Structure 1
Amino acid sequence: MKTGRVGKLVVSLGLVTLALLTSRAVLIHQVEDGTTAKGKVVENQLPASKIPDFNAIKDVSEKKQAFFDYLRPAIRHQNAIIADERQFLKQSLQHLEQQNLTEAERFRIEGLASKYQLAMRSINQNTLTQLLERVDIIPEDMVLIQAANETGWGSSRFAKQGLNFFGQWCFRKGCGLVPQSRTAGMSHEVAVFDSVEDSVASYLRNLNSNAAYSLLRSIRADLRAQNKQPEATKLVYGLIHYSERQEAYIDELLEMLRHNKKYLVDNDAKRPSV
Structure 2
Amino acid sequence: MRTGRLGSSILAMAVVILAVLTLRVIFIPVAEQNDIGAPLVKKNRLGVNLIPDFSAFDDVSAKKQAFFDFLRPAVKKQNRIITEERRFLLQVQNHLKNHNVLDDAEVYRVHKLADKYEYAIRNIDAASLRSLLRRVDVIPESMVLIQAANESGWGASRFAKEGFNFFGQWCFKEGCGLVPQSRGQGQVHEVAVFNSVEDSVASYMRNLNSNAAYGLFRSIRADLRAQKEPLSAEKLVYGLVNYSERQDAYIDELLDMLRHNQEYLDDNNGVSSAV
CA distance in 1, matches of 2:239, 2:50: 31
State whether structure 2 residue 194 is matched by structure 1 residue 197: no
CA distance in 1, matches of 2:144, 2:273: 15
How far 1:271 sits from its partner (Å)? 8.1
Match of 2:233 in 1: 232
Identity %, equivalent residues:
65
Match of 2:41 in 1: 44
How far 1:49 sits from its partner (Å)? 4.3
Match of 2:91 in 1: 91
Q: What's the secondary structure of 1:93's corresponding residue? A: helix
CA distance in 2, matches of 1:52, 1:273: 35
TM-score by length of 1: 0.81
Q: What's the secondary structure of 1:132's corresponding residue? A: helix
Q: Unaligned 5+ residue runs, structure 2?
A: 1-38
State whether structure 2 residue 179 is matched by structure 1 residue 178: yes
* C-alpha contact 1:79 1:272 (8 A) present in aligned 2: no
* C-alpha contact 1:50 1:162 (8 A) present in aligned 2: no
Change (3 A) 1:192 1:138: same
CA distance in 1, matches of 2:54, 2:187: 31
Cα root mean square deviation, aligned: 1.7
How far 1:136 sits from its partner (Å)? 0.2
TM-score by length of 2: 0.81
How far 1:121 sits from its partner (Å)? 1.1
CA distance in 2, matches of 1:186, 1:130: 34
How far 1:48 sits from its partner (Å)? 4.1
* C-alpha contact 1:68 1:264 (8 A) present in aligned 2: yes
How far 1:272 sits from its partner (Å)? 10
State whether structure 2 residue 245 is matched by structure 1 residue 244: yes
Greater Rg, structure 1 or structure 2? 2
Count, aligned residues: 231
CA distance in 2, matches of 1:111, 1:239: 26
CA distance in 2, matches of 1:229, 1:196: 27
Q: Unaligned 5+ residue runs, structure 1?
A: 1-41
CA distance in 2, matches of 1:209, 1:133: 9
How far 1:103 sits from its partner (Å)? 1.0
How far 1:44 sits from its partner (Å)? 2.1
CA distance in 2, matches of 1:213, 1:66: 29
